[in-house]
A and B are shown apart, each in its own frame.
Chain A
Amino acid sequence: MNENPYESASPAAPASAPEPQTRVLLPFEFRGNGGEYFRIWIVNLLLTIVTLGIYSAWAKVRRLRYFYGNTFVDGHSFDYHGQPLAILKGRLIVFFGYVVFVVASQKYPLAAIIIALVLMVFGVPWIIMRSRKFQLRMTSYRNLRFNFHGTYGGAMASFIGWYFLAVITFGILFPIWVRKRVHYSMDNAAYGSQPFSFLTGNGTYFKFCLIAFFGGLAVYLGVIFSFFNLPDVEEAMRLGGIATTGADMLLAAGPTGWALIAGGGIALLGIFGYYQASAANAAFGGVQAGSQYLRSNLRSWPLIGIYVSNLFAIVFTLGLFYPWAKVRQLRYQLENTAIDSDGNLAAFTASSGEGIDAIGEEVGDFFDVDFGI
């Protein structure tokens, strides 16, 4: 793209911004390419196989450093500082925990089910909290670290508490649960000494969840209803009785029926894309850090186009297209995300306690392990 991202920054003056000074839109940019990532990916796989999986922790660090390091905004890239040994430690804990669980469940099957449920309810929020902390603390931009101040109680309330509320209200509160999870991840984050706020309200979440749900339902029911009312399909069902298979009906339906099904499928894909794009826009577009605001402008059809073409390309190349697919998807997402800025990204400072004595090294906390994949 542009050599100098300052040139591509276009001034914008959103009505909501109270500051009189001009604001600029600083777009994100991805500078990696599929061919380069292909070589990193395949060497990572080879070394992982040769070392019977041990290298996967090093592979993860290289993969993330490649993606973070190629993500630029305002002319500077991000960096990932995760240490392979911390990741390996996390994986070993999970692996041995799982083995112990499987062995124990042979002997005490009932106890194992109860323990699994308890772990699901009480352990998952803890793992989410730790992973988010690790992920953000290992991320830097202009030699300042991100941070995460979310608590265990907060994770418990937003991930489990609101889930149960959504279930007992038959899904009516589902949009709030979706928002609460994002809110927890974003609102507790910080860059240097600057805490983030999450601004997207419940209204946005209710709107796109309801449109996606009822839109999907309408398309689904509409297609089913019209299909079974096609004269040829009715005829086939009358002849075949209860043993009529889907294939029989499809054959009988003819071009009208096929077009109906294909159209329904495309409409459902579009709704899926609408949901994905809206969810990403609501999540990233709601982040505020001081006088900087994130803007996210993913659109449904381009996103779906990337999903579907990636999917076909990966299937038809037996997986070989994977690195290019990953780069394409990331590039689209990043290039449609920007910082609505007062032009002064350099003004961020390190939090107290960080800085001079934090020699860019990781804190040796025992629980500073990464449970993410």
Chain B
Amino acid sequence: MIRGEYFDGRSATGIEATLEFGADGAVHVHGAVVPLSFPLAEVKISERIGNITRRITLPNGGVFETPDNDAVDEARDALGLQRGSSIVHWLESRWQIAVGSLVVVALVSIAFLHWGVPAVAKWAASVMPVEVDRAIGTGTLDVLDRVAFRPSKLPDERQAGLTKRFADMTKPLHDGHEYQLEFRRGGLIGANAFALPSGIIVMTDELVKLAKNDDELISVLAHEVGHVRGRHALRQMLQAAGVSALAVALLGDVSSISGVLSAAPALLHAKHSRDFEREADAFSKQWLREHGIAESNFDAILCRISGSHGVSHSAKSEGKEKDKFDYFSSHPSTTERAQCPEEEVAKEESEPQPEAQSEAAVEAEYEQSAPVEAEPPIDTPLDE
């Protein structure tokens, strides 16, 4: 006997009733105006979820409702009824299963964020026309000119010389991008260079002054070309969309957190950004090698730029700290990217091996995606 309430489906009036799974294979409801009996096969028992009211639907349109889930389960088991449908409830009622599920869901999500999202974004970018990049970059330089830059004070001959070398570098690339070099005074931004997705590369006067020779500047320009060529701005946007999609799929239906979900991509922005920096570094170094320019030029200017920005890389402990919080900085630490002269000996003692491997791996990946017509790739690690 299971105690509950009977609703006939014609009015909202409930009648206190009991339900019994008879030994004769019938279901009896006692308490209604007339005693009711139905064949077991025509009765539908709702699935158990948590401890919500159980609903036993009868063929006359009536429903027997009971809070006594355990009694219904016992009766059902005794009759050997649909054990299969309660498997999900079995899974849902155990904390061990919940923790196990959590581990699997977390691992799959992390793997998806780490490999899946970048891979899908890379593929999606590859099927999109180059015009998309141009559309993303439209107007950006105007905005930067208004808020950050001031007109360059470099002599015209100097500008012309660098523009010539830049054109020599970008002409043979034939990747659909229209490369263009612009000079600006950086002001507070200081010595730096920027790539806009449309192919415009901006170099500050301060950077030109900081360089000891033009090869150093060319190595920086090659790095920026690497950003444009790798379509990093577009891929960054696509990856952000992918991260949002995952966040919505996992946590989508709470209204109060929709604001946080839209910020979710920002959490991974720095990590993706650093991956792109490494890719651009790899392109620059490869280009330098293919054109007989020493890669040390890139290392030298990089170290000097971060020095000029007040980043100290003499303290070894700081470099290690940075690696630990790798998910939070937008650029890889300079000690990882380049061998700064003062530090060379100290570094080799600590951990030269993993560093060389990671650089080589990034480079191999890049060559697969964007082969440059030149010598075969060199397998030796970069930082010898």
Please state if B12 and A141 are interface contacts (CB–CB under 8 Å): yes
**Is the beta-carbon distance between B57 and A243 smaller than 8 angstroms?**
no
Q: Is B218 an interface residue (CB 8 A)?
A: no
Query: Is there a chain A Cβ closer than 8 Å to B161's Cβ?
Result: no
Having A143-B65, A347-B11, A348-B12, one finds 19 other A-B pairs with CB under 8 Å, namely A43-B91, A46-B104, A69-B53, A142-B12, A143-B12, A192-B12, A243-B187, A245-B188, A306-B256, A311-B260, A314-B251, A319-B251, A322-B254, A329-B254, A349-B10, A355-B10, A359-B57, A359-B61, A373-B253
Answer whether residue B119 sits at the interface, using C-beta atoms and an 8 A cutoff. no
Q: Is chain B's binding surface mostly helix, strand, loop or mixed? A: mixed
Which stretch in A34-42, A117-125, A167-175 binds the other chain?
Answer: A34-42
Q: Which of A49, A69, A242, A350 contacts B50 (CB 8 A)?
A: A69
- Closest A residue, CB atoms, query B149: A243
B319 CB to nearest A CB, Å = 25
| Closest beta carbon of chain A to B41's beta carbon, Å | 14
Report whether A358 and B9 are in contact in the complex, using a CB–CB cutoff of 8 Å: yes
Cβ-neighbour of B11 out of A45, A47, A350, A373 (below 8 A): A350
**A259 part of interface (Cβ distance < 8 Å):** no
Would B50 and A346 count as touching, CB distance under 8 A?
A: no
Q: Mark A27-58, 1 if CB is under 8 A from B, else 0.
A: 00000100011111011011101000000000
Task: Tell me whether A43 and B92 are in contact (CB under 8 A).
Answer: yes
B357 nearest CB across to chain A (Å): 30
Tell whether A345 is near chain B: CB-to-CB under 8 Å: yes
Q: How far is the CA of A66 from the CA of B61 in the complex (A)?
A: 23
A360 on interface, CB distance cutoff 8 Å:
yes
Bound-complex Cα distance A62 to B60 (A): 26
* Nearest chain B CB to A211 CB, angstrom units: 21
Determine whether the beta carbon of A143 is less than 8 Å from that of B9: yes
Residues of chain B touching chain A, judged by Cβ–Cβ distance below 8 Å, are 5, 7-14, 44, 46-47, 49-53, 55, 57, 59-63, 65, 88, 91-95, 97-98, 101-102, 104-105, 108, 146-148, 187-189, 250-257, 259-260
- Which of A77, A311, A373 is in CB contact (< 8 Å) with B52? A77
Q: Which residues of A contact B108 (CB under 8 A)?
A: 49
Task: Using A49-B105, A143-B63, A373-B253 as known contacts, say yes or no to A39 and B94 having CB atoms under 8 A apart.
Answer: yes
Q: Is the CB of B188 within 8 A of A350?
A: no
Among the interface residues A40, A43, A63, which one has the most CB atoms of the partner chain B within 10 A? A43
B67 nearest CB across to chain A (Å)? 9
The distance from the CB of A313 to the nearest CB of chain B, in whole angstroms, is 10
Contact of A322 among B8, B13, B95, B251 (CB under 8 A): B251
**Would you list the 4 A-B pairs with minimal beta carbon distance, nearest first?**
A69-B52, A143-B7, A46-B101, A307-B256
Question: A76 contacts the other chain (Cβ, under 8 Å)?
Answer: yes
**Chain B contacts of A142 at CB under 8 A?**
7, 12-14
Residue numbers in B under 8 Å from A325 (CB-CB): 254, 256-257
| Bound CA–CA A243/B148 (angstroms) | 5
Q: Pick the contact of B61: A320, A322, A358 (CB < 8 A).
A: A358
A40 touches B254 (CB 8 A): no
Q: Is there an interface contact between B11 and A348, defined as CB atoms closer than 8 Å?
A: yes
Instruction: List A contacts of B255 (CB < 8 A).
Output: 329
The distance in angstroms between the C-alpha atoms of A137 and B121, with both chains bound, is 41
Question: In the complex the two chains form, what is the Cα distance from A43 to B165 in whole Å?
Answer: 60
Contact between B49 and A65 (Cβ–Cβ < 8 Å)? yes
Task: Indicate if the CB atoms of A38 and B50 lie closer than 8 Å.
Answer: no
- Please name all residues of chain B whose beta carbon is closer than 8 Å to the beta carbon of A76 when the two chains form the complex: 5, 14, 53, 65
Kindly state whether residue A302 has any CB partner on chain B within 8 Å.
no
A242-B61 CB under 8 A given contacts A40-B49, A76-B14, A311-B256? no
- Neighbouring A residues of B146 by C-beta, 8 Å: 242
Q: Inside 8 A of A254's CB, which chain B residues have their CB?
A: none
A68–B95 alpha-carbon span in the complex (Å): 23
Are B9 and A355 closer than 8 Å at their CB atoms? Answer: yes
Given A142-B14, A243-B147, A373-B252: A360 and B50 within 8 A (CB)? no
Binary contact readout A294-319 vs B (1 if CB under 8 angstroms, 0 otherwise): 00000000000011001100110001
A119-145 near B? 1/0 per residue, CB < 8 Å: 000000000000000000000011110
Contact B14 A39 (CB under 8 A): no
CA gap between A310 and B258 in the complex, in Å: 11
Is the C-beta of A215 less than 8 angstroms from some C-beta in chain B?
A: no
21 interchain pairs, CB-CB under 8 A? A32-B52, A39-B93, A43-B92, A43-B98, A47-B88, A49-B104, A65-B49, A66-B52, A70-B50, A70-B52, A142-B13, A142-B14, A307-B256, A311-B259, A319-B250, A325-B257, A346-B14, A354-B9, A360-B61, A360-B63, A373-B253
Evaluate whether A314 and B92 lie within 8 angstroms (CB atoms) in the complex, with A347-B11, A359-B59, A360-B63 already known: no
Instruction: Find the A residue at minimum CB distance from B189.
Output: A243
Distance in Å: Cβ of A107 to nearest Cβ of chain B: 13
Whether A326 is near chain B, meaning CB under 8 Å from some CB there, is yes
Chain A contacts for B53, CB-based, 8 A: 69, 76-77, 79
Q: Output the nearest chain B residue to A62 by Cβ-Cβ distance.
A: B49
| Of A65, A66, A143, A357, the contact of B62 (CB 8 Å cutoff) | A143
* CB-based contact B105/A326 at 8 Å: no
The reply to whether A310 and B101 form a contact with Cβ atoms under 8 Å apart is: no
Taking a contact as CB atoms under 8 Å apart, the answer to whether B12 and A314 are in contact is no
A15, CB-defined interface residue at 8 Å: no
> Does A201 lie at the interface of the complex (its beta carbon under 8 Å from any beta carbon of B)?
no
> Residues of B contacting A329 with CB < 8 Å?
254-256
CB of A240 closer than 8 Å to a CB of B: yes
Q: Is A110 among interface residues, defined by CB-CB distance under 8 A? A: no
Q: Is the CB of A350 within 8 A of B9?
A: yes
Bound-state CA distance A243–B190 (Å) is 11
Q: Which residue of A lies closest to B267 (CB)?
A: A315
- Contact (Cβ within 8 A) A310 B97: no
A residues in contact with B65, CB < 8 Å: 76, 143
Task: A355 to B63: give the CA distance in the assembly, Å.
Answer: 11
Q: How far is the CA of A42 from the CA of B108 in the complex (A)?
A: 13
Q: Are A40 and B50 in contact, CB atoms less than 8 angstroms apart?
A: yes
The residue in chain B whose Cβ has the minimal distance to the Cβ of A333 is B255
A246 to B110, CA, bound (A): 34
- Among residues of A, the one whose C-beta sits closest to the C-beta of B252 is A373
B-contact bits for A176-197, CB 8 A (1 contact / 0 none): 0000000000000000100000
Q: Which residue of A lies closest to B54 (CB)?
A: A69
A323 to chain B, nearest CB (A): 9
B residues less than 8 Å from A43 (CB atoms):
88, 91-92, 97-98, 101
| Contact flag A69-B49 (CB < 8 Å), given A143-B63, A357-B61, A360-B44 | yes
Contact with B along A322-349 (1 / 0, CB 8 A): 1001100100000000000000011111
A356 at the interface (CB under 8 A from B): yes
Pick from A49, A240, A306: contact of B188, CB below 8 A.
Answer: A240
| Residue numbers in B under 8 Å from A306 (CB-CB) | 256
Contact, CB under 8 Å: B105 / A66: no
Least distance between B170 CB and chain A CB atoms (Å): 29
Kindly provide the distance from the CB of A371 to the nearest chain B CB, expressed in whole angstroms.
15
